[in-house]
Amino acid sequence: MVNRTRWAAVVVALVGLLVGSAGSAQAATWSSTDKWGTWSNGGYTVRNNVWGSGTGPQTIWANSYGNWGVWADHPNTGGVKSYPHSARNVDRKLSGLSRLSSSFNVTRPGSGAYATAYDIWADNHAYEVMIWVNKQGAVGPIGARETTVSVGGHTWDVHRGSNGSNQVFSFVRTSNTNSGTVDVLAVLRWIGTRGWYGDVTIGDVQFGFEITSSAGGMDFRSNSFSITT
């Protein structure tokens, strides 16, 4: 005879496990498993953006442009697999900006290989500025290290190089953080003072997780994020 009490307990446990593993995706305002899934909210665009080769499954969810996340299961085979992010288009000349700052708060896995980073585009993708606020595992920026500088409220190792399509300037925070505020305008102006570009037009300011591997399935969450101009 089946022990009904024990069987009921097993069912409840299984249901709880399923709900927990699905996470916020089930309860979110929007979610997508499409590689290029996008959602517009409050003047921002949230993108799944699974663009690399040899990728695994990735589900993105969002309650708002600032509160969103992904569950990703990408194999440990090297190479960036995806860059899920939230973005706001600025579309203004650098000289015309008096303020451009951003605040963030994330929850991220303690394993895998990824960077939590801003990706900022200028002059129609001629220049790419990456601002890494934390990193995990075997990941690194493009180009050689130029210097270490304190600007925009943080201290960064600055790398400069090219990905074959555009110039890339990477600011890698000297210690990891999961929350804070970055004076993005100060960083962009500092690049100009080095003579690395002129009065460029700032396009998309993106913030998210550049994932190289997350084997077995991992959760990445933006608890809050915003851009102020």
Q: Which amino acids are annotated catalytic?
A: 128, 210
Beta-strand runs (E) in the chain: 30-32, 38-41, 44-47, 58-62, 68-72, 85-93, 101-107, 113-122, 127-136, 144-151, 154-162, 167-173, 179-183, 201-213, 218-228
How far apart CA 63 and CA 14 sit, in angstroms, is 26
The CA distance from 219 to 60, in Å, is 10
DSSP classification of residue 82: B
Q: Residue 130: CB partners within 8 Å, gap ≥ 6?
A: 117, 118, 119, 120, 141, 168, 169, 170, 171
Distance of alpha carbon 159 from alpha carbon 148, whole angstroms: 9
For residue 168, the one-letter residue type is V
Strand partners, 45: 40, 87
